[in-house]
Each structure stands twice: as structure tokens, then as C-alpha cells.
Structure 1
Amino acid sequence: MHKKILTALALAAGAMAAQAQQPVVLKVAHFWPPTALSQQKVLEPWCAKIAKESNNELQCQIYPAMQLGGTPAQLIQQAIDGVADIVWTLPGYTAGRFPSMEVMELPFLTKDAEGGSRAAWAIYEKYGQKDFAGVKPLAFHVHDRGQIHNNKRPITKVSDLKGLKMRAPTRLTNMMVAALGATPVAMPMPQTPDAVSKGVVDGYVLPWEVIPTMKLHEMTKYHSEINPPQPGLYTTLFTIAMNQAKYDSLPPHLKKVIDANSGADFSASIGRAWDESAPPARKQAIEHGNQFNTIGAAEVEGFQKATASVADRWVKEVTAKGYDGKGMLEMARTLSAK
């Protein structure tokens, strides 16, 4: 009898050990194609790193291009609901839902994506945590300098935008486009190439990184740039966020792996990847024979004056919702300037 008990205990222990060694497979969803920088230069290396550091107890199954269904605007809710374990999306796709982090999308705030992304994480830690109940953000980042692209004419001054229908990604970028005299057309990134090719929009504001991925350089005549040392015209905020319940279900040693690969440094590294991607992406538009022009410092001042009202309006709106709008703006400007 004693021998039978020992055998049963040994079998049970063996079964528990085998179960413990079963990997946790994280469903990771995003809206880009699998060839995009986001997957190849960020998600795939990140997944490989957490697999290595967890002895393959953590693994990823990546679902690009909305393969789990839904629309890009629904990704954050998919993370909250557990349809996906991790998503990469724009908080701004759900207008007004995440007021604290909108500050990073105000015009002429950031100089580069790496610094802007580190600033974004700091804003989240101080002001943004209540907005993201139901998910555990792993990173916040911004993209490389947003520029103006269109098929009508070179943009050299604010008045050149008058009457143009311009695609923009989020609530604040649409406010910026309107302040510059154009007609904003809100749509997620995946819809933009079709809208450009059919003339639904005359142009769009986008960073360089994504343009070749969507083959937009093959559909666009004019690229108008605001270059350093001037701050960028705009940027857009992204988040990589994990379902909170999924994170909570992990044993401590696997939580430690996720924590070690999240936060300010991870955010900044994503921004750096975007900064590094801009020159080779831009080169493809040059090789296609498109026309480029730089918006000079004197003209940039006109753009800044035209869009100053966007920040003022944003501060009033979020303050009315109980946020420290002025404090968030001052913190974002201070950090971005560094």
C-alpha cells in the first residue's frame, strides 16, 4: 500500500511538472501587415526576448492585419475583453476615451520619436493610469516626425492647405488639420491607400516609416517637410497593452519577465526604431521621383501660430473632465524639450 501511495504521488508530481512546463502562448494582435516595422523590428524581437528569458515558458502567436477580426479602433477593447492577450494600437482611435495621453499628439511638441516615447511613458505613470483600467500597458510610443503629403501642390505656407481634404489619424490631429485650413478626414491607417487612390482625400499627414509599407509613395506627388531643429508638426501616440487578467494569471517569475521588458526603456527603443526607419523610407519616395520641399523656419512660425489654439482647447477640455490639463501640457513640453 505504501508503495502504491508513493507511486501515485510520483505520478501526480510528474503530471504537475509537465503541466508547469506547458508554455503560455500570448495572442498578440495589431493592424499592420506582417511586413511592417512594427512586427519585424519590434514585436518579433520582443517575443523572442521574452521567450529566451522565460526558458520558452512565454511564447507569442502574432496576428497581424486584424486577423482576429474587428477593426483597428476595436483593438483596445479586444485587449480588455481578452479576445487578444496583447494588442498594439492607437488610443486615439477611440476619440476621447484616453484624455491623459492625448497630450503627446499636440502640434509642435516632440522633436524625435525616441525622446517623445520616453516622455509618453512618464506622462502615463503620473497622469494616465486611471484611463487604462483593464489593461496593463507595456509601452507607449510616438512615431517619427509627421509630415504633409498630398497630390495637389507643394505646401510651403499655411494658406497652401486651404481647401484640401487631408486624412488624419486621431481627434487632435484632425483638430490640427482644421486649424491649418484644410478639411480633416478621419480614418485608420489601413484605409488610407484606398482613399488616396480614389481621390477621397487629397493628401494625408503621416510619418515616413509607414509610407512605403502601404505603398503610398507610389500614389503621392508632393512631400512637404518640417525638419530639425524645428519641432515636428505632430506625432501620434501608440500603446502596446496586455490584458490585465492575463498578466495577473502569470506566476511571479513570468510576471518578472514581462515587467523587465516593459516601461520607459522599451517605449524609447520603439521610438528609436521609428527614428531610424525614416531615412530609408523617405529614400523610396525620392527614388520614385516624387517632389520634395522643406517648410522654412519663418513659415513654420505661421504653422505654430495657426495651431496654438489646439493646445488651448485641449487644456480646457481635459480640465473640465477633472484632469490637470495645464500640468500635463507643461510636463510633456518639458520632457520633450530634453
Structure 2
Amino acid sequence: MRAFALTAPGAFEVLEVPAPKAAPGEAVVDVERVGICGTDVEFFTGEMAYLHQGHSTYPMRLGHEWAGRVAAVGDGVDSAWVGRRVMGDTMLGCGACRRCRRGHQHVCEKRQELGVRGERAGALAEQLAVPVSSLHVLPDSVDGVLGALVEPGGNALRAARAAEVRHGDRALVLGPGTIGLLVAMFLRAAGAEVHLMGRTDASLAFARGLGFEHVWRENAVPGLPFDAVVDASNAAHLPELALDLVEPAGRVVYVGLAGEPSRIDTRTLALKDVTAVGVLSASPGLDATIRAYADGSVDPRPLVAATVGLEQVGDVLAGNRPPGAGPGPKVHVDPRLS
């Protein structure tokens, strides 16, 4: 089969590799769609922290936002899985440690992260082998496009829920990228008045096109009481701004990661009686995200600007927009395209 591989920072190949076989407890999936995300770009540039911490090494096969159809299963797996349309959890815990036993496999110290951490090959390939325990079935109303948006949507849903907004509350999202826009969609579905802060006219215009009326540059955010602020950016200075902007007794949610350490003044946190929450991983939010997509309460399709084949992935990771791409922040890959 064909698979995309990073061999070094900025270096890549589309290879012919052996098709995966389902080990006991595993399924082999025919991949239909894969999303390219900021984590993949960090591996492409060599900036990803896991590379420097020894959790990831080149060569590596990327791809952790995906959807497909089960083609085969290994020993010990119900054959009824074959033919099901699925997406999968990125976080694969060891299953034996205290965290895994408590249902927190996404923070397992020994976890693999599909296409990210450990030696589990990612989904930028025609087929993928994964533990069947990581699979989530997609209903007919959730096609491959939506299926490959479940993983980023799960992160966003968890961030929106952590904000604990009530109907009529005012929430501010910092960073109108894929995660930030998804957070805004889930907050809007919860009944909040949603504001977004971004850096470029193009990103703010796109957010307006999604129906978000309150969009601002950093120097123009109005002096309104924000009951919750979600930092979905990669800017090191914005965690502090989020804390400054949130109302006393409000909530700040951190789902974005900067390339360098951020600082907040915990005196401000305490004196404002603010609750701060960090979000890592979509794992606890996957099923609820699938339901939201299925019932139409959140529709992230406009976020996808283009769909390319494996041969175009390297160009996208290098920061080049595919010809004819729309204004959305997300590029999808269909490994079946030549």
C-alpha cells in the first residue's frame, strides 16, 4: 500500500509499504479521510516537543484525525466489526496502569498516540491497523468528512464543556483556527454569546461567514464581561491575556499550546477567584462529538478548505495552500486519490 512518511525535518516520501495485518485485538481499516493538523506541521518543522523528549523519532508516519471502514479483524475480535464505518481515538493507553484503570488512558505515561507518539503508524496511508477498543462507530449521517473532524471536535467539545457556560453567558475564544472555531460552534450550540479574537482579517472574515458576529483583533476586544475565555491559540502571551479578560469567578480554559513556555500570574487567578482548566485529548469527548455532528447541532464541514492525495501532503505541511482551496483552516487527505 501507499503511505506518507516523514524521514527528517522537511523531508518526506510517499512509500510502498507492506499492508498492515490485524494482530489479536486489532482491526485493519481502509482509510477514507485524514485531517492535517498543527501537530503534524510541528513534526514537519522539527519543533514538536515529543521529538526532543524521546517520545517520537524519524522516520514516522503521521495522521491522527481520520475516518474509514473496517476491512479485517484479528483474533479475539467480533467479525461484526467488518464493514463498519469508524473513527478512532488517538490516545492508546497501556491498559494496566492506575490512570488507565481509572479511565484516563489519554494521560497514561506509557501511552502511544497514533501517528504522534510511540511506534504506532498513523493514518496517512491507504490502510491502518488499530486496537478495536479505540474505535467509535459512525452513524450514516456522519460521512468521512465529518468523521475525520471528530478528533479535533472532541478536543473542542471538552474545552467548551469546561467553560461551563449557561444560556446567555458571554464567552471569548482566542484563536480562530480549527480548534478555536470548533470551540465557538459548541459554545454557540450551548446558548452562549460567542466572541472570537484573531490576528488576520482573513480569519476573522471567515469566522463572520460562519455566523459569528462578534470578532475582534487583539487591540480591539471590547471591555465586556466575559464569563468564560478559551485560549485555543499557539501564542505564548495569550494565556495571561485570557486570565486578564475573564470575569471574576469565571472560567479560563487552555486548549492551545505555544512553542515556548507561557506565564500567568497566579495571584490574579486567586484574587479573581477564577477556575482554570487544561484540556489534553479528545478521548472523553468523542462519542458526544459524533452525536452533535449526527444531529446537526454542530456542522464543521465549512472548515475543510480542500481535499488532496498523499502526494500533496508534504506541500501542505510546508505551508502551501492547495490550488483552488477555500477559506477554511483545515485540509483533508483522501489516500485513495492518485
Q: Would you say same fold, with TM above 0.5? A: no
Q: Which has the larger radius of gyration?
A: 1
Higher RCO (C-alpha under 8 Å, 6+ residues apart): 1
* Structure whose residues are more often strand by fraction: 2
* Structure whose residues are more often helix by fraction: 1
